[in-house]
Amino acid sequence: MFVIGSGARHLEDEMKALGGRILEVEIKRFPDGEKYVRVLGSSDEVTVVQSTFRPQDEHLVEMILLADALREGGARKLRAVVPYFAYSRQDRVTKEGEPVSVRAVMRTLAVYYDELYVFDLHNPETLKFFQGKAVNLSPAGVIADYFGEKLGEGVVLAPDKGALERAKAVAERLGLEYSHFHKVRVSPTEVRMEPVDVDVKGKNVLIVDDIISTGGTMIRAANLLREMGAEKVFVAATHGVFAEGAIERVSKAVDELAVTNTIPTPVSKISVVPEILKL
């Protein structure tokens, strides 16, 4: 049985259409601004689906309230599916006095939830902070399914070495070659991207990453691939965080931009719902 938080409402219709059994919830605000939730029904085991994009804090508090309501109603086992996990990039202390924010969030959720499932976490090592079963889900399968025919006998690339495993996972599903761009820091404020070590001339190329925010890296990579003779350039990412204007800027530089629907955006063309329903 599923409960859908307000941060995952964009997934609800598809989940129902594919057979997901969903408990209805009432979510509103008191006059003083505090959140009110009520779960209309109960079950022994429940999976709460909640994506924690903007406003992150509100969606996290809602997850806690939903879990408390479900425990109050007799739920024995609770699983949290968090397609986009807020605070995942705050995974270390860089200045004295800072928290490890992702640790604080995971420890809080572990008070109520027995299991945690996330998609393409920025640093999967941080799952150790959750005191229960914690799984990092890969969207490689659904990305490969979406771009497979369009890419043809092309190449899958990562924008840097850190994202190589993502590109590899997609490429292996398609039986294609993969590699990554090399970044060289020219100055404290400038990074140069160097050509990849594979032949892209006359080929279609798919660039795969976890998050797109400003889109600057993707645009530089696409321009470099054009210079190297690439035929078509596609860009895919798990999470479309997108700073203002980023969708338009990236879309102009590539043949197609598509992200998964962990966050609802105009280019969220790849659904993770089938992966959620497999859990």
Kindly list the catalytic residues: 183
Closest CA to 51 of 85, 22, 23, 27: 85
Q: Beta strands of the chain (E only): which ranges?
A: 2-4, 22-29, 35-40, 45-49, 77-82, 115-119, 133-137, 155-158, 177-180, 182-187, 190-194, 205-212, 233-240, 256-260, 268-270
Whole-angstrom distance, CA of residue 107 vs CA of residue 172: 35
Report how far Cα 100 is from the mean position of its chain's Cα atoms: 20
